[in-house]
Structures are given as structure tokens and as C-alpha cells.
Structure 1
Amino acid sequence: MDEWKTPLYQAKIMDKWLTAFYQVRGSELPINNFHSHHEYEIYYFCGGECKYLINNRIYDLQPGDIILLDGLTLHKPNPRDVSTYTRSMLHFSPTWLQELMTVLGVPNLLAPFQNLNNCLLRTGNDESGQFVDAQMKKLAILLVQMDDEMQKTGKKSELLEAEVKLELVQLLLGIYKMAQREFMHVKKKMTSKEQHAEAISTWIDAHYMEKVSLDQLAADLNLSKYYAAHIFKEVSGFTVMEYVMGCRLNQVKYLLEMEPDQSLADVSRAAGFESVSHFSRYFKDKMNVTPSRYRANKRIQRQQTQD
């Protein structure tokens, strides 16, 4: 193992409602494309140089930064040097946690994820940041222990599961208190390049369901199209059309799940695809499953949750 690599604890168990990765460095996990998911996410930036894109906002991360994500909003890290990029992540099911909060009679610990619009908390690695880091490590290790126990005995440890729940509540209670302090929210001071990149992503968010052209984008924003393309790639890590297609894909995933009676032709048209065939090929390439199969899988998952 290379000297720069740190211990990696990861697990996705307990009925798939909790996933933890602690201090993942470099390429131990793939650098994700623009993506979304149903779970809430706590992202802790440990080190390196990285810009983080959340829909049409761009953050220049500092060690100790904590991002609270609702999951459904498109997001993507853009590290400058993959080998030094270090982060911890925790994904969890808000549905499961709502029930636990009711039983414990605690405040709505999910309010920061629901009301703060995918916010970033800047701790500077102070005591509060160190607390979050320590809790994420505890949870990751406990999940690995649970997985080991399951492999050995064929059943999950109720004691370890209870520990995981208690540690998660402690983590979320700490974040809830942190989120109440308005001074911890990042006041962004963007460079002109970042301002232009954010303006471009905002324009795309408003127009991706139409036929998008770089000429029209540049004209509307009063930019050279070559400058617009170059600066967006430099800041975000992907091209204008890659961003457009990411927005379309996210919209398609939403419609396939939330509009089960809508035809594939209507879904593709509503998301900005010019043809059903292009939509189907692109979706299969990115999701490794056909649109119809994706919709059917989501229907099955929804029924299992209700049962």
C-alpha cells in the first residue's frame, strides 16, 4: 500500500439505509460524475484541492468543510489532484431516521438537510469539525464490525446495530447545533471565472429541457462561446454538454419514478432529449439498465418499503 493511503472503513448494510466511507484518499473510490441519490449525505472534506459543484453553485473547499446534501440535487466533486483528494462520506435513509427521532423525542435533526438548500458549513477543523470527523470514523468502523459479524454468524448483531443508531443520532445532533449558527455558513468570495461558471450552470438549469446551443448560451450571457466553454470546463471539470446531459438524466430519473404512467417518449421529450432512441441509449450507457427496467426496479423498491 502506498504511504499516502489512509485506513479505509466502508460498509453498506442494515437494509441498505446506511453507507459509510472514512478518509477515502485518491482513487480508492471512483471520482463520481454529476449524480444524485435518494439518501441524505454528509460529506466531510479532509484535504487536497477540490471544487464542489452542487447544482448551479460552486464551492472551493477547505479542510474541515462539511456539506449537507439532500441527495436529489445534482452534485459532483472536482479535485485538482486526485492523489491528494481525501474525504469522508455518510449516506443514510431519511425515512428510517424519522421513525427513530419520533421514538427518541428529539428535535427534527433532518432540518439542516431539508431547509438549508444543500449548505456548506466551514469549521476550519475546529472542535466541531473534529467531532464530526470522529463520529464518522466510529460509524464506519461499527458498520465494518457488523458486516464481519454477519459473515461469521449469518445474522446481524442487535447490540452493534443499536450502537450505530446511537452514534448516528449523536452525529446528527451535533450537526443540527452547528447549523443553527449562521456565522458558520460559507460566505462565498468567487473569482470572476467562478462567477461566469456559476452563471453558465444557472443558465443551463433554466434551459436544459430545450434545444441547447453554445451560441445561444454565450449570447444570453454576453460571453465569447470559446471563453464560456473553456472556463466552464476549467472550473467544473466537465463540458457544457456533459452538464446539460447530467441535468437531463437527473430529470429523467425523477420522471421515471414519480410519473409511472408517462410514456418513455413523453419522459424523454420533457427532459430535453430529441429522440427516444437517443434517450434510451444514453440512459442505458450511464445507468447500466434500460429506462423500463429502471422504472420497474423503482416500483418494486417502493412496494417493498410500503410492506
Structure 2
Amino acid sequence: MIEFKYMCKSTGAQNFLFHSHDAYEIYYFHSGVCTYLISDRVYRLAPGDLIIMHGMTLHRANPDPAVEYCRSLIHFDPRFVRRFFNPPDMVDLLLPFHRLKNYRFRLGGKSRQQEVEWLLADMSRYYTVQQPLAKQRFLLLFLQLLIEIYEEYQMTDHAAESPTEKELIVQRVISYIEKHYAEEISLERIADELFLSKYYLSHTFKDVTGVTIMSYVMNRRINQAKICFLIDPDLSVTEAGYRVGFKHLSHFSRVFKEKVGMTPEQYRKWVRCRAGIDMPL
């Protein structure tokens, strides 16, 4: 129900893929130099930044490989939170996720950062330990973290900071892809639509995101196929591939397995089992 990774560190060239999941996510940036992409938003991170994500939105970290990159991650099922932490007479602690969807908080002041970092450190102590009350202590600390996020949501001016010229170009590219990913799409077509040279467009996109434009298109199509299966587990693999822009089933199956780690049919069966559709009697 809650997956927690504390102070994950990496250096050197890493292949951080665009990905999505139906779990909600809390991401805390400890140190490094990193650009973070969520859908068409580009965030230049600073230590102490905390990101919340609503689920099933493509996102990717693009850290500088020359600097150690350190972050903490929490994935959780919102149904679990509602079950334990949201009685009728209490504040809805998931409201920031519902209202803001995907958002970066810049924690104000060292004391605010320290409070969150102390909570994460304490959570790490109880996450894997096998002793009485460890799980309860972990859940209480997680509840306190959600309260901190809710309070930050109440205090924060939610106006977005001004993006750089390159980030604006990336946002325009992703917005265009969002409207046309199910159609025949090419670098030439995007460049013509945005009145930019192919070289400048592809170089700028790769510089900001760490991936090529056509790689992003494939990730977006596969992400939408996953959403199609989640919405309609009875949807055929052929129809799902066609809806998201693939003209050939073999190509769709190959790219899907490459990105997701299983074939479309295996993913469809997994969704059906999770929903109880194919559970044995």
C-alpha cells in the first residue's frame, strides 16, 4: 500500500526513463543538479523541493551525471489513505493532490525543510524493521508528512515560475504531442508547426528532457495504452494499439514490452486480475 525509498543516490550516466503509475507519489529532492519533467511542465529543482504527483502522468528526472543525485520517494494507494486517515469529520489530506494534480512545493525556510527531512529519516527507521508497533509508528509519521504537505498547500502561492526559452519550447512540443500523439507524427511535422528548425528543436528537447522527441512520443502512446486498459480491461490489444497511434500490432507489442516490461496482453490480464475480473472462483 505504501512503497518508500529513502535517500536514493546515483552518480554518472543513468537511464532515467519516462514512466507513469496509478499510485500517488511524494518526491523529495535532497541534493544534486536536476531538471524534473511532469507532462508538459519543466522544474529546475533545488534542495528542499517536494513534488506531489496524482498518478498516471508521464514524468522523468534528468539529473546532471557529474553531480551526485539524491532523492526520497513514496508511492501510495490513495484508497489506503482514505480508509485509514480520512473519517467523515476530518480534513481530506489528499486535497492538494486532487486540486493541484502534479505540483512542486518550494519548502519555505530551513526549519520547514528540516521538519520534512526529520520525518523522512524517522520513517526510514520503521519502514523495514521487524518489531512491535513499527508499522503503526511508520503510518503515524506518514500521516504527519501528509499534514505537512496540506499545510504547505494552504500557505503556498500556487502561481508558476516563469520558464526559460528552452523550457517554453519543450512545453510547446509536449502540448502539440498531447493533441496529436494518436496521429502520424514526425519531427518534420512538429518543426513545421512550431516554425523552428529540426536541428534546433531536437537539440533543445534532448538538452532539457534527456530524451529525443520521438522517444517521448512512444512513451506517451504507451502511457495512454495503459490508461485505456485501466479504464476498459475488456479492450482488445489491437484496438488499444490503434487508438494510441500504432498501425501494426507487432510494433505496438514490441514497444509496449520494451517500456512496461510485459506484453500488452500480459498487462491487460494483470489489470483484469487486480480488478477481480479474472479471479478464480
Sort the Cα spacing of 1:144 and 1:176 in 2 relative to 1 into closer, same or farther, 3 A.
Answer: same
Task: Identify which of 73, 84, 87 aligns with 1:89.
Answer: 73
**Correspondences of 1:12-31 after superposition (within 5 Å):** 17-26=1-10
**Correspondences of 1:144-293 after superposition (within 5 Å):** 144-146=128-130, 157=132, 159-183=133-157, 185=158, 187-293=160-266
Counterpart in the other structure of 1:112: 96
- Secondary structure of 2:275's partner? helix
Offset at residue 220 of structure 1 (A): 1.0
Offset at residue 117 of structure 1 (A): 2.4
The answer (yes or no) to whether the contact 2:30–2:48 under 8 Å persists in 1 is yes
Aligned equivalents of 1:31 and 1:179: distance in 2? 32
Sort the Cα spacing of 1:26 and 1:32 in 2 relative to 1 into closer, same or farther, 3 A.
Answer: same
Offset at residue 283 of structure 1 (A): 1.1
Counterpart in the other structure of 1:45: 29
- Secondary structure of 1:180's partner? helix
Aligned equivalents of 2:214 and 2:72: distance in 1? 29
Aligned equivalents of 2:276 and 2:109: distance in 1? 43
Offset at residue 145 of structure 1 (A): 0.8
Aligned residues: 277
| Higher mean C-alpha displacement, 54-63 vs 129-138 | 129-138
What is the RMSD of the two structures over their aligned residues, measured on CA atoms?
A: 2.0
Relative to the length of structure 1, the TM-score reads: 0.85
Offset at residue 247 of structure 1 (A): 0.4
- Structure 2: state its 5+ residue gaps: none
Counterpart in the other structure of 1:7: none
Offset at residue 198 of structure 1 (A): 1.4
Relative to the length of structure 2, the TM-score reads: 0.92
Aligned equivalents of 2:156 and 2:161: distance in 1? 14
The answer (yes or no) to whether the contact 2:233–2:271 under 8 Å persists in 1 is no
Aligned equivalents of 1:207 and 1:106: distance in 2? 42
Offset at residue 50 of structure 1 (A): 0.5
* Cα deviation digits, residues 52-104 of structure 1 (max 9, x gap): 00001101111111100112111100001264111111111111110112348
Aligned equivalents of 2:143 and 2:159: distance in 1? 25
Which amino acid letter does the alignment assign opposite residue 109 of structure 1? L
The answer (yes or no) to whether the contact 2:62–2:209 under 8 Å persists in 1 is yes
* Cα deviation digits, residues 151-178 of structure 1 (max 9, x gap): xxxxxx4x22211221111110111011
Which amino acid letter does the alignment assign opposite residue 64 of structure 2? R
Sort the Cα spacing of 1:91 and 1:236 in 2 relative to 1 into closer, same or farther, 3 A.
Answer: same
Aligned equivalents of 2:84 and 2:11: distance in 1? 35
- Structure 1: state its 5+ residue gaps: 1-16, 150-156
- Secondary structure of 1:303's partner? coil
- Secondary structure of 1:25's partner? strand
Counterpart in the other structure of 1:297: 270
| Higher mean C-alpha displacement, 230-239 vs 113-122 | 113-122
* Cα deviation digits, residues 204-236 of structure 1 (max 9, x gap): 111111111111111111111111111000011
Sort the Cα spacing of 1:178 and 1:31 in 2 relative to 1 into closer, same or farther, 3 A.
Answer: farther
Aligned equivalents of 2:116 and 2:159: distance in 1? 17
Of all paired residues, the percent bearing the same amino acid is 37
Offset at residue 31 of structure 1 (A): 5.0
- Secondary structure of 2:26's partner? strand
Counterpart in the other structure of 1:14: none
Aligned equivalents of 1:70 and 1:60: distance in 2? 20
The answer (yes or no) to whether the contact 1:120–1:186 under 8 Å persists in 2 is no
